[in-house]
Every structure is written in C-alpha cells, then in structure tokens.
C-alpha cells in the first residue's frame, strides 16, 4: 500500500528529486529553527561516501557549504524515515533512509549518533518501524477505524498512548485523512504544558500511529461526575489556565474548534494539571472560516448559522464549559439532538446568579460575556484574562497577523469534514452531515 502522506509530501516538494536548491538570493534563517545538526555521509557513486554538514529544522533537512551557507534542502515533514544497519558484524554501517520522490541514504559514525539523529527526526518526519519500537499493553479506547492503545516504548521503556488508524479507512474517507493531517501539523507546531504532546508518527502497510503522551487520570467529564460541581474558586482558576492555553494557540493562529469536557484530560489528580487533546478539527485562522464543524452544545452560534467566523468560537466553548462546571449541567438541553442544535444555534439563554449556589453575580456575568451570541461582543482570550476574577498572570499576546513561516498553513485549510455532534443529555457522540447543522 502506498504512503498515506505522499500527496502532502509532493505538495511540499514539487521537484522530482530529493533535494531542492536553496537560491543564493534567498536568506535562510536557520538560527531559530534548527533543532539538530552534525555530519552525515551521503553516497555519491564512484566517489563513495561524502561527508556533508547537515542541519535539521522543524520542517526540513539542509546541507551546508563549508562556510555554513545552506545549499540544498528537503522538506521531510511527510517523508518516511527508516533506520538501517549495513556491513558486517565487526564493521557495521549505521544510517537511515528518507523516502520521497527519490530516496536518499544517510550514514553516521556510530550507533549513538544514529540514535541522536533518529530522536530528532521523530519530531519532523514519519517513521516506519512501529512494531519494532513499541509493545502494546492494553486497549484504552476504540472508535470507527481507530484504536487507542497503551504502549511501552522498547527504547526508553516509557508508556505512551498510541492512536492507531486503519489506512484503508483513511484512503476511503478523505475527511478523516484531513483530520489526521491537521492533528499532526497542529501538535508539531505547539509546545505548551497544557497541550498534549505528540512524540512521533509511524506509518506501515496497514496503519498510521500517533505516539502521544499518556494521560491516565481521565477527562473533565469524568472528573465532573466525581465531584458533581466545581467551586467558584476552582472553576475560575481552571478557566483562567484554559484561557491562557487558548491564548497561546490563537497566537499561533490555531483555532481548536472542538473544545469540550471530553477533550480536556488530566495527567494527575489536580484539576489544574490538564491537557487539551484531539486537534482533528483544528485549523489556521487567516481571513475568516466558514466550515460547519464542532460538537453540538459547544458550537458558537455563528458556526451553526453559516456565518464567517474566527478564533472566538473557542471562547464560546470555554463559556459553555464554565457553565457546565458551576452547574453540573449542559447549557443547551432538549428532547433530541435536533432540539439541542436549534437552541444552540439561536443561543437564547438567560443566566442569572440565582440559578447557581455559591456563585457571585460577577462570575455569572463572566459566563454571559464568554457566550455572547454576537462574536463582536465576545472577548478574545487576552481580553477575557483581564477580567478581575481571573488569574492576573500575564497571558500570551495574540498576534493574528504575523504567522510564523514554519507553520504548515496548507495542513489547516478549510475542510469539508463531517461534524462531531454531541448530545449532552445522554453523553454520546454522533457524526451527522451538513444538513443537520443548517
């Protein structure tokens, strides 16, 4: 079976060869983006192995002139990487092959150097040796064409959550492939203590595996069921930290688009030790978004109405989460999913502090502000964090107009994916078509 990511690789590497020349007129700033560098040996026909000074960034592999000037590069974000050992037992040759339009072999001095390169390459490319590197311990969760297993890495013996997706399903359902691409691209862009970490990606003949950090303490829905409802103080501290995290994502122009109780998981018993997960609907916000997607009950009204929307849809979802934590019930309720969706779309809710026990009027006013029906009246994360009730720690500044060149914008293009529709009354998730959300 062909590589699932070949189309993406061809998009980033339009030339037929492995390397692309770096124009002398273009200055490549490798200082801030370099994650590793060193000598690699490349086979050059009768000349044998030639030593090249190479640099790895968060998107590409470069080789440099003897003066340290970039000569050629190859975008390896969607290329398969395969380590190998050649030669005899007494004189082994260690290296790795990177597959693309044309494969290229790279040799290193010893096994330690190979391990160093592979560790860094795992943050950029796609590996093809999952069954050799991991042992499955148990199944954690299962969905359509997707299984999440608890696995142990045979290298560092640490435990990871591995999301495994059947390639046959991905080939037959383009929206799922786009979702996988979006999740990989988003998580490789981020580095935040409250965003789940993606350690590596694997692909073989039948499956794609995302190696993620293991979060053993359940999600926010589970925690809410345990405590029934959060206190105002705990809720404000939690929401403050969640807004800080979303402010960070929005500064990268990443809009999550599916914030909900089930997509916030914990790595300890502390309610502040959480991670935002599931970036399958994430996208880059450029000049307005239009695709209807998200989970009913959390979706901003402008999305359901078919209006152009922006990053503030995440703020609306945070307001819904805040209401849920303080009341232990969903903001929008109904006898069936269609009724919930209609109430969500119209957003006709009246919230009074008399409906809550032990919750101040200022706190209820904050919820109302976050879930403002009109997005122009709704704050962004930076503005919300200025509220006197929230953490006074300086938030990440949102800059929606200076996008870092290293972000793969193509991976977050507007997509015609199916929508995740959640019916909060019965805590179940259903996938429905666009007609349901019209």
Catalytic residues: 258
Closest CA to 214 of 286, 158, 293: 158
Q: What does the alpha-carbon distance between residue 434 and residue 186 come to, in Å, rounded to a whole number?
A: 25
**Helical ranges in 108-231 per DSSP H:** 111-121, 130-133, 167-172, 174-189, 220-227
Q: Is the distance from CB of 83 to CB of 129 less than 8 angstroms?
A: yes
**End-to-end C-alpha distance for the chain, whole angstroms:** 38
Question: Please, what's the largest Cα pairwise distance for the chain?
Answer: 84
Angle, helices 361-370 vs 232-251, to 10°: value is: 30
- Structure tokens of 187? 């998580």
Q: Is the distance from CB of 249 to CB of 190 less than 8 angstroms?
A: yes
**Helical ranges in 67-144 per DSSP H:** 111-121, 130-133
Torsion of CA 208, 163, 284, 124, to 10 degrees: -60
In 3-state terms, what secondary structure has residue 39? strand
Q: Is the distance from CB of 175 to CB of 432 less than 8 angstroms?
A: no
Closest CA to 160 of 118, 193, 198: 198
Task: Give the burial class of 150: count Cβ atoms within 10 A of its Cβ; 0-12 exposed, 13-18 middle, 19 or more buried.
Answer: middle
In 3-state terms, what secondary structure has residue 438? coil
């Amino acid at each position: 079976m062909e590589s699932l990511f070949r189309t993406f690789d061809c998009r980033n590497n339009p030339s037929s060869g492995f390397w692309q020349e770096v124009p002398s007129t273009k200055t490549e700033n490798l200082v801030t983006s370099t994650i590793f560098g060193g000598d690699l040996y490349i086979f050059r026909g009768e000349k044998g192995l030639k030593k090249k000074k190479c640099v790895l960034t968060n998107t590409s592999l470069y080789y440099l002139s003897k003066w340290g000037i970039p000569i050629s590069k190859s975008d390896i974000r969607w290329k398969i990487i395969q380590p190998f050992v050649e030669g005899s037992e007494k004189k082994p040759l260690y290296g790795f092959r990177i597959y693309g339009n044309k494969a290229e072999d790279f040799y290193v001095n010893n096994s330690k150097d190979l391990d160093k390169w592979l560790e860094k390459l795992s943050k950029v490319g796609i590996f093809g040796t999952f069954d050799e590197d991991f042992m499955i311990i148990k199944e954690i969760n299962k969905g359509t064409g997707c299984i999440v297993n608890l696995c142990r890495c045979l290298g560092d013996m640490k435990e990871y959550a591995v999301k495994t997706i059947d390639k046959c399903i991905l080939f037959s359902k383009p929206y799922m492939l786009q979702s996988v691409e979006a999740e990989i691209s988003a998580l490789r862009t981020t580095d935040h203590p409250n965003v789940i970490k993606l350690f590596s990606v694997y692909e073989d003949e039948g499956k794609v595996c995302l190696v993620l950090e293991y979060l053993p303490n359940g999600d926010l829905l589970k925690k809410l069921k345990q405590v029934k409802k959060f206190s105002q103080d705990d809720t404000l501290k939690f929401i403050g930290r969640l807004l800080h995290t979303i402010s960070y994502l929005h500064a990268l122009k990443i809009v999550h688009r599916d914030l909900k109780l089930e997509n916030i998981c914990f790595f300890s018993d502390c309610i502040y030790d959480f991670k935002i997960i599931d970036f399958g609907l994430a996208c880059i916000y450029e000049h307005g978004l239009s695709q209807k997607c998200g989970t009913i009950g959390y979706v901003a009204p402008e999305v359901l109405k078919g209006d152009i929307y922006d990053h503030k849809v995440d703020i609306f979802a945070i307001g819904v989460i805040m209401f849920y934590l303080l009341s232990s019930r969903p903001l929008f309720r109904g006898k069936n999913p269609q009724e919930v969706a209609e109430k969500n779309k119209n957003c006709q809710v009246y919230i009074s502090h008399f409906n809550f026990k032990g919750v101040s009027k200022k706190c209820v006013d904050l919820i109302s502000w976050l879930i403002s029906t009109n997005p122009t009246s709704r704050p962004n994360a930076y503005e919300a964090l200025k509220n006197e009730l929230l953490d006074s720690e300086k938030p990440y500044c949102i800059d929606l107009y200076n996008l870092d060149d290293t972000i793969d914008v193509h991976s977050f293009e507007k997509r015609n994916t199916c929508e995740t529709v959640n019916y909060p009354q019965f805590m179940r998730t259903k996938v429905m078509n666009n007609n349901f959300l019209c």
